[in-house]
Amino acid sequence: MPILRKRMQFWLAGRLGTDLLTALDATWDVRVVDPAGAHLGTRRGRAPAMVAFWHRHILAMLTHFRGYRVCVPVSESQDGEYVAHAMERFGFASVRGSTSRGSVRMLRDTLGMVKKGWSPAITPDGPRGPKFSVQPGAALLARRSGLPLYPIGLAARPCWTLSSWDEFVVPRPWARVAIVFGPALHAGEFGDSAAFCDALKEALFAATEAARRALR
């Protein structure tokens, strides 16, 4: 019975969360800047690609990629269960694991999803930070998959900024939201993982600044 109760809680939280987010998204004025045509292998029939964005921007990214064949690494914690249920209601596939637990299985399962045509979306500073850090797993997944990785920046005005470790961003009703895709990074073009991670961090900051400028 306790297991059944927990499953019901996860389902209910996922249902309420997605319904609320869908209603909020309907009020946003979203502008997408994608000069490289970086749309993923999705309903448009393009090849898979990776995307990366800061953990604080997950909310708006969920609605932007709704309906796309996107797989997302989700932590094995209880909070991860709530997140996984919400993501699955938006049509995403969740791959369980984290940099501290289940990382080998998560890498294997994500690569398996890539072979099936799914595009990985990662938050390189998640799930626990530090904020604006890039974990080595991002470079490993990019290198092993061979996929181009597109950094994405986001800005919203007005928005709420929560007092969480990542300063989580929640665009307010009728907010203006800018989503900017930066040029693709290819892990094979970098000498080592550290160089790739540094380049990804710089590219994410640049895309975020471009998103802020798009709202001016």
Q: Which domain holds residue 127?
A: 2-214
**pTM score:** 0.88
> What residues in the chain have per-residue pLDDT under 50?
1, 3-13, 41-44, 100
Q: What is the pLDDT of residue 3?
A: 46
Q: Which pLDDT does position 9 carry in this prediction?
A: 43
In sequence order, which residues have a C-beta less than 8 Å from that of residue 175 and are 6 or more positions away? 27, 28, 29, 156, 157, 158, 159
Q: Which two tokens stand for residue 176?
A: 């203006």
Peptide linkage before 148 cis (omega within 30 of 0):
no
Structural domains in the chain (count): 1
pLDDT of residue 36: 62
